Amino acid sequence: MSQRYDLLIIGGGMVGASLALALRGSGLRIAVIEAVAQDSGTQPSYDARAIALSHGSQRIFDSMGLWSAMVAATVSPIRHIQVSDRGHIGAMRMAAAEEGVEALGYVVEAAVIGRVLNQALADSDERIEMFCPARASAIEVLPDGVRLQLEHQGQTRQLHGALLVAADGGRSCVAEQLGGQYFSRSYGQCAIIANVIGEREHGGIAYERFTDSGPLALLPNRAPAWMADGAAGERRWSLVWTVREQELEEHLQLDDAAFLARLQQRLGRRAGPLLSVGPRRSYPLGLRFLRDHVRERLVFIGNAAHTLHPVAGQGFNLGLRDVACLAEVLHQQVAEGGDVGESTALQRYEKWRRNDYLRVMASTDTLARGFASNLLPLVVGRNLGLLATDLLPPLRRVLTRQMMGLSGRQSRLARGAG
Ligand SMILES: Cc1cc2nc3c(=O)[nH]c(=O)nc-3n(C[C@H](O)[C@H](O)[C@H](O)COP(=O)(O)OP(=O)(O)OC[C@H]3O[C@@H](n4cnc5c(N)ncnc54)[C@H](O)[C@@H]3O)c2cc1C
């Protein structure tokens, strides 16, 4: 006998949990299946990485009634972005004031986002049911929905949903079980993340520096009081440093002083002297796009549909736009009394997301590859590009609005319409 739901979400990380919360009040009966216990300390979605949320993502969380809890937990506004190319003259600056907004984006630690989403899920009504820790297997697509098996609290259960949403990250077990085909590209690079304390306050400036091994970003990121380096206040930065795969181990093995010296050499003096660095973690980088992210009774969202290089800080922002658009389509389906897994509704969603996917994939890939090269035509081209963008306000404005997540047709949540 299976338990029946309208919607099954596999993956209760940043994107899956956000979708369940965006559908509060829809009347839909939702099951969220998450493999890793939230308090295990190993939850992969809610680790120490700093997430640069775009202005559009801030509006989505605000419309969902979650932004004030994030602000209370600590967010750091990005008021200026400075982009430069190490060893070359090209540079570009963006400012929130030019766009007439308080911030171009906000830096929030993934662990903080996790706390807020998990609390909101715990406070939501019984129509959202959380199975955690639990793993789904034997996924079967049927004409009227999807059936799967679940191991939870020592019991095997069968769940049936009219629609299955896979939000289970870059190594999606749903794609694996149901045969998903990805377009993928490896950059031969890894990202090292760490929190760094500087001598001077960051002043809301984010630095993106392109180097011959890959991009390096330093994001303003005040720590919440409950974290170990909470006392550093506005002197704390989050580092995302891209290095070549073969150089990763060497960077991880450096002692703190040698690591900071190398970082300072790559970055120059723009952020002032860097005094200390916290634990380092690394992530392999690549581009992966699922060719068919919408199928019969099945939608892939977030990293399960697209994994990006973090150079432009777009991965979660793109995933949150998936959430806002899918929630809108499903709300509309419910309002019209339709079946939420019906293919015309899912095709509407697929069509809506197509341009955003192509735009973000192309721009992120160009940045990741174009700026990692030392070939003369590429160096000249990208420096002319940076200079032109800096000198031509309309061009800069287009790029800034894309980075702020304000290009293309906006969802109701992103427009603040709730
Ligand atoms: C170094 C780095 C920096 C980044 N910086 C930014 C940034 O500044 N801005 C930005 O927008 N994005 C950024 N990103 C991207 C962002 O982290 C991801 O896009 C985001 O985490 C994707 O969330 P997700 O919920 O789709 O996937 P995940 O975070 O991978 O979550 C997947 C969830 O599914 C669960 N799961 C997996 N398999 C199963 C299963 N079989 N059954 C049940 N549950 C399962 C996992 O436990 C996990 O909770 C960065 C990424 C990296 C690596």
* Residue 207, both tokens: 């630095």
Confidence of residue 240 (pLDDT cuts 50, 70, 90): very high
For the Cβ of 193 lying below 6 angstroms from any atom of ligand 1, the answer is yes
Report CA 119 to chain centroid distance, whole Å.
Answer: 20
Helix (H) or strand (E) holding 7: strand 3-10
Whether the per-residue pLDDT at 373 is higher than 60: the answer is: no
Atom 29 in ligand 1: residue holding the nearest Cα: 45
Q: Give the separation between CA 4 and CA 145, rounded to whole angstroms.
A: 10
Of ligand 1's listed atoms, the one at least distance from the Cα of 217 is: 8
**What DSSP string runs through 136-177?**
EEEEEEETTEEEEEEEETTEEEEEEEEEEEE---TT-HHHHH
184: left (phi over 0), alpha (psi -120 to 50) or beta: beta
Tens digits of residue pLDDT in 279-288: 999 999 999 9
Residue 10: strand, helix, or coil: strand
Residue 269: strand, helix, or coil: coil
Tens digits of residue pLDDT in 293-331: 999 999 999 999 999 988 778 899 999 999 999 999 999
Whether the per-residue pLDDT at 231 is higher than 80: the answer is: no
Residue 132: per-residue pLDDT:
95
Residue 221: per-residue pLDDT:
93
Give the number of C-alpha atoms closer than 13 A to the C-alpha of residue 193, restricted to the C-beta side.
17
Higher pLDDT among residues 357 and 225, named by residue: 357
Tell me the one-letter amino acid at 204: G
CA of 217 to the centre of ligand 1 (A): 19
Q: Give the separation between CA 344 and CA 260, rounded to whole angstroms.
A: 54
CA of 172 to the centre of ligand 1 (A): 11
- DSSP code at position 300: E
List Cα–Cα distances, 123 to 25, 70, 127, in angstroms. 13, 16, 11
Whether the per-residue pLDDT at 147 is higher than 60: the answer is: yes
Average predicted confidence (pLDDT) for the chain:
88
Q: Is the dihedral of CA 123, 134, 19, 162 positive or negative?
A: negative
Residue 232: per-residue pLDDT:
75
Residue 97: per-residue pLDDT:
87
Angle in degrees, CA 322, 327, 329, rounded to 5 = 100
**What DSSP string runs through 303-325?**
GGTEE--GGGS-HHHHHHHHHHH
Residue 377: per-residue pLDDT:
52
For the Cβ of 105 lying below 6 angstroms from any atom of ligand 1, the answer is no
* Beta strands at 145-152 and 214-220: parallel, antiparallel or unpaired: unpaired
Confidence of residue 390 (pLDDT cuts 50, 70, 90): low
Of ligand 1's listed atoms, the one at least distance from the Cα of 173 is: 41
According to DSSP, the residues that pair with 208 across neighbouring strands are: 83, 217
Q: Does the N-terminal peptide bond of residue 77 adopt cis geometry, omega within 30 degrees of 0?
A: no
Instruction: Give the homologous superfamily in CATH for domain 3-184+286-403.
Output: FAD/NAD(P)-binding domain (3.50.50.60)
Among 54-68, 198-212, 221-235, 289-303, the minimum mean pLDDT is found in 221-235
Confidence of residue 275 (pLDDT cuts 50, 70, 90): very high
Confidence of residue 226 (pLDDT cuts 50, 70, 90): confident
CA of 103 to the centre of ligand 1 (A): 24
Higher pLDDT among residues 204 and 409, named by residue: 204
For the Cβ of 303 lying below 6 angstroms from any atom of ligand 1, the answer is yes
Residue 99: per-residue pLDDT:
78
Confidence of residue 396 (pLDDT cuts 50, 70, 90): low
Whether the per-residue pLDDT at 408 is higher than 80: the answer is: no
Atom 38 in ligand 1: residue holding the nearest Cα: 168
Note whether 355 and 58 are within 8 A (CB). Answer: no
For the Cβ of 33 lying below 6 angstroms from any atom of ligand 1, the answer is yes
CA of 85 to the centre of ligand 1 (A): 29
Question: Is 0.85 topped by the overall pTM?
Answer: yes
For the Cβ of 20 lying below 6 angstroms from any atom of ligand 1, the answer is no
Tens digits of residue pLDDT in 185-202: 888 999 999 999 999 999
Tens digits of residue pLDDT in 105-121: 899 999 999 999 999 99
Q: What is the mean pLDDT of residues 243-253?
A: 95
CA of 242 to the centre of ligand 1 (A): 18
CA of 14 to the centre of ligand 1 (A): 6
Q: Give the separation between CA 231 and CA 198, rounded to whole angstroms.
A: 12
